[in-house]
Chains A and B, each alone.
Chain A
Amino acid sequence: MVTRKLIGQVTVDEKNEIQMLFERRNGLNELAKILTADNAELYEKLVKDLGETGTKFQAWWDTMGEKYRWESAEGGNWEINFDTCEIYLVTNE
């Protein structure tokens, strides 16, 4: 059973930052479905961007986790609600 526990909140600016990365990552993932290696230049740009965006994405969670000292759990993950800026700990029990 999945449980969600409210463990903190980020600022609107911080939320905007991760939301933008989230949107970009979705865009890149979908683009990967339609771009082929034939379009070498663009394909290379996409691969590079996917890597960079993924790194920034994880860096945000690392930085925020450090900053706010959020509770964590083995096998769990953090989730953000973009409407409320709230952070949840999601675990599978």
Chain B
Amino acid sequence: MIGKDNHQNGWLTGQTKSITFIVTKDCQLACKYCYLVGKNSKERMSGEVAKQAIDYIIAHESDFLEESVVWDFIGGEPFLEINLIDQICDYIKIELFKHNHHWFNSFRFVFTTNGINYNSDKVQSFIKKHKSHLNITITIDGTRRKHDLNRIWKTKEMEKGIMPKPEEERGSYDDVVKNIPLYLSQFPNASAKVTISSADISYISESVLHLYSLGIHEVNINCVFEDVWNEGDDLRFEEQLTELADAIIDGGYYKDYACSFFTEHMGKPLDCKLQNQNWCGAGRMLAVDAAGNFYPCTRFAQYSLREKKAWIIGNIHDGIDQNKLRPFLTLDRCTQSNQECIECEVAEGCAWCQGENYDAADTPTVYQRATAICKMHKARVRANNYYWNKLFRKLELEGIAKEEAEKHVKKSNPEIC
């Protein structure tokens, strides 16, 4: 008798360190909601910088005791640097093995890509070579009209600051969607990442259903954290989510498809003692850029920041200054929240991004929570309540008790950064 393992579920359950390589600040697209204000085609990581970063991390194993590691590659568009990434991945594997590092037994290479180069020979050859350690998410925002509203091709004029007229914009939907069948054939359990901005709220419901129709069973979706929301957006958002809830439940999608907007655990008040954890993982992660500087998360690199100076915690030559990490590692929910957030009746599930908090704060601090997302969270809670009340009642009428319901509903695994 030969034992086998269910590969798709294979991942250790202990703590995971996320290490991000900002391999390029370039991208083929110029998405209108992109928080990366400093994208450019010049800052590309060299193989030497990547190696020195890996050497530092491996040599300091006692500072990185997490059971597992995610080597995350981000851009811009990471697959623009597929040759470099391939070299880095080879080097990581060899060095982990050579040094008997505990991460050799538990590592992944993770990518969030715009999907445009996905079918290229180089990317396909990379996937074949590293398949058992890959986790790739393609960003596709939904229907053509939603996707193309924001995710447009960059033009040469844009680099000079000249923006195209709306009728001249070229969407990227066709260039991405053509690669979805290949993607799903290689990663059948793959999920899609969707971003919501003010302009595309009206297309949320059709977009999630469209992604399901493409064969994507898990849609991770979130509103941007920046202060971009307009009057009435919350009501339109709630309406869209309610429509989506009806479609998912009436169409029976909940059995095999998940959407991260709907989760049982949200919308309750939180206790400042018992539920005081920070939401965001900044500081527990590590990012390195082309210059060899280390950051508590990629969102603290200068190209991600509108207003503030980069929060550099060290570099590949001098190592990590642990003092610069202390504020992140001692940060809790209530200390950074205002009184309204602390007393909020629907606080549970309200997310924040530490980088956006820092960028939007009145002083250079990570201890001031940005609240631009407040009304959108409250709208989501109302729709979420509707979803679960309707679903539980439906299941009940089918003879399934509430306690048993979770066996009949596919859960989403919202990615928390």
Across-interface contacts of A77 in B (CB, < 8 A): 1-4
CA distance in complex: A72, B3 (Å): 11
**CB of B118 to closest CB in A, whole Å:** 20
Contact check, A30 vs B130: say whether CB atoms are below 8 A apart. Answer: yes
Once the chains bind, are A30 and B93 in contact (CB under 8 Å)? yes
In the complex formed, the residue of B with least CB distance to A53 is: B105
Determine the chain B residues whose CB is within 8 A of the CB of A29 once the complex forms: 132
**Residues B6 and A31 in contact, CB atoms below 8 Å apart:** no
Given contacts A22-B10, A80-B6, is CB(A72)–CB(B1) below 8 Å?
yes
A19 close to B129 (CB less than 8 A): no
User: Is the CB of B106 closer than 8 A to any CB of chain A?
Assistant: yes
Contacts of B97 on A, CB cut-off 8 Å? 27-28, 31, 42, 45-46, 49
Q: How far is the CA of A23 from the CA of B276 in the complex (A)?
A: 34
Q: How large is the interface on A (under 10, 10 to 19, 20 to 34, 35 or more residues)?
A: 35 or more
Sampled A-B contacts (18; CB under 8 Å): A16-B13, A18-B5, A19-B11, A19-B12, A23-B12, A24-B104, A26-B132, A30-B93, A33-B129, A35-B94, A42-B94, A42-B98, A46-B97, A57-B3, A60-B3, A61-B3, A78-B4, A82-B6
Give 5 nearest A-B pairs by CB, closest first: A61-B3, A26-B132, A82-B9, A77-B2, A79-B4
Q: A20-B12, A23-B12, A61-B2 are in contact. List 17 more A-B contacts (CB 8 A).
A: A18-B3, A22-B5, A26-B133, A29-B132, A30-B132, A33-B129, A34-B94, A35-B94, A60-B3, A77-B3, A79-B4, A79-B6, A81-B9, A82-B5, A82-B6, A82-B9, A82-B11
Binding site for A on B (CB under 8 A): 1-6, 9-13, 90, 93-94, 96-98, 104-107, 129-130, 132-133
